[in-house]
Structure 1
Amino acid sequence: MGRLKLISKAISIGKVTEKYPFAPIEVPEDYRGKPVINEEKCIGCGACANACPPQAIQVYDDLERGVRIVHLFLGRCIFCARCQDVCPVGAIKLTKEFELATPNQDDLHQIVELKLARCSKCGKPFDTYRHLIHVAENVPPWERGSLLLCPECRREKTSEWRLWGCKR
């Protein structure tokens, strides 16, 4: 008798399954899917890599080519959206895309390359032009010249100022 009750209840409820993958599925508005880096907006600051718990985003410099590389590997991503939350220019966004299976592992990588600026004193590459421009917007005009110095040369310059008793 218990089986008849179960069958009658199932008939009264009707179908509860989705037609996916044969019909598109609607994802919720705040769904956290595949992250994508906007190459035009990215300044190469590395905030996303610092915030990424599984280290799915790596930021490193190729000094021979003079570029900073921002490398996103979706195979490690846990879709936590921390990268999106910390990006100061909104260059990384999580999409609603969730079908990430692929026969080609190269499809799981996104690489952004940004040109590095060279120190005006020693010529060593140290930061991206885009990041320096972004930082310059929040620095007083009399200190913007020091932005074109690498950290080592900036440290030397600050030490010289202190030697002469200047406050900058």
Structure 2
Amino acid sequence: MILPKLREIKEALTSFFSAPYTTKFPFEPHTPEPEFRGLPRYHAESCVGCGSCAQVCPPQAITMTDDQTAGVRTLTVDYASCIHCGQCEEHCITGQGIKLSTEYSISVMDLKAPEMFESVQKELLYCEACRVVVAPRDQLKWIKNRLGAKAYAHPNLLLESQKEFFGLAPAKSKSRLRREDQVKVLCPKCRHKVVVEDEFYGFQKND
């Protein structure tokens, strides 16, 4: 048992008289490695507001809120709950909407302080028939750019492309959805009604 103790004493003395391996933080600022997983930050110009980051967040530190009155979607990261796992960055559909930075230190006395939150807001697009949320406008633009010429096969993407060049007058409301409502921004449920119910409107099952 003497030899192991001697080796431990030698290691302790060697470490005591050797240069430190750690940084001098907090007396000097520490610069993490580029691969360091720090605080996630939104990049508004690349984020499309799809909400995939909120869906895959294990501790549910990211919340998604749709404001029907203002017509915006707000994505918020709560750093008090974030575990810096990187799932939000990995599953971001654009790859640049949210990125883990090298920032790691937040010193606050209140967990509800503004510094403990990171938010981004995106304009929402609503169904012109039932007023449910279709998608954020930036998400439709991103899909349109990804599909290229194929995007013109979908009415929602076609209308969004037309709005970039000239305005479209709002359509008049009707008692029911008709075939001409195909050229409207509609949710999947209302578009199904246009295609199916209008085709068989007036047909009743004979008893």
TM-score (norm 2): 0.68
Aligned-residue CA RMSD in angstroms? 2.7
Q: Paired residue for 1:157? A: 194
- Asked whether the equivalents of residues 66 and 125 of structure 1 are also in contact (C-alpha less than 8 Å), the reply is no
* Deviates further, 6-15 or 128-137: 6-15
Letter of the structure 1 residue corresponding to residue 55 of structure 2: N
Instruction: Find out whether 1:103 has 2:109 as its counterpart.
Output: yes
* SS of match in other structure, 2:99: strand
Displacement of 1:81 after TM fit?
0.8
Q: Paired residue for 1:44? A: 49
Letter of the structure 2 residue corresponding to residue 127 of structure 1: A
Displacement of 1:125 after TM fit?
4.4
Higher relative contact order (CA 8 A, sep 6+): 1
Instruction: Find out whether 1:30 has 2:41 as its counterpart.
Output: no
- Asked whether the equivalents of residues 68 and 115 of structure 1 are also in contact (C-alpha less than 8 Å), the reply is yes
Q: Paired residue for 1:94? A: 100
Q: Paired residue for 1:68? A: 73
Flag structure 1 segments of 5+ consecutive residues without an equivalent. Answer: none
* SS of match in other structure, 1:79: coil
In the alignment, the residues of structure 2 paired with residue 25 and residue 80 of structure 1 have an alpha-carbon distance, to the nearest angstrom, of 21
- Asked whether the equivalents of residues 136 and 144 of structure 1 are also in contact (C-alpha less than 8 Å), the reply is no
Q: 1:50 to 1:13 in 2, by over 3 A?
A: same
Please give the per-residue CA displacement for 1:16-68, whole angstroms capped at 9, x wherever unaligned: 34211111223122110010011222211111111111111111211122111
* Deviates further, 86-95 or 149-158: 149-158
Q: Paired residue for 1:119? A: 127
Please give the per-residue CA displacement for 1:55-90, whole angstroms capped at 9, x wherever unaligned: 111112111221111111111111011111111121
In the alignment, the residues of structure 2 paired with residue 32 and residue 131 of structure 1 have an alpha-carbon distance, to the nearest angstrom, of 26
In the alignment, the residues of structure 2 paired with residue 9 and residue 45 of structure 1 have an alpha-carbon distance, to the nearest angstrom, of 55
* Amino-acid identity (%): 29
In the alignment, the residues of structure 1 paired with residue 20 and residue 83 of structure 2 have an alpha-carbon distance, to the nearest angstrom, of 32
Q: 1:81 to 1:156 in 2, by over 3 A?
A: same
In the alignment, the residues of structure 1 paired with residue 188 and residue 87 of structure 2 have an alpha-carbon distance, to the nearest angstrom, of 28
Q: Paired residue for 1:79? A: 84
Q: Paired residue for 2:153? A: 142
Q: 1:162 to 1:98 in 2, by over 3 A?
A: farther
* SS of match in other structure, 1:88: coil
* SS of match in other structure, 1:148: coil
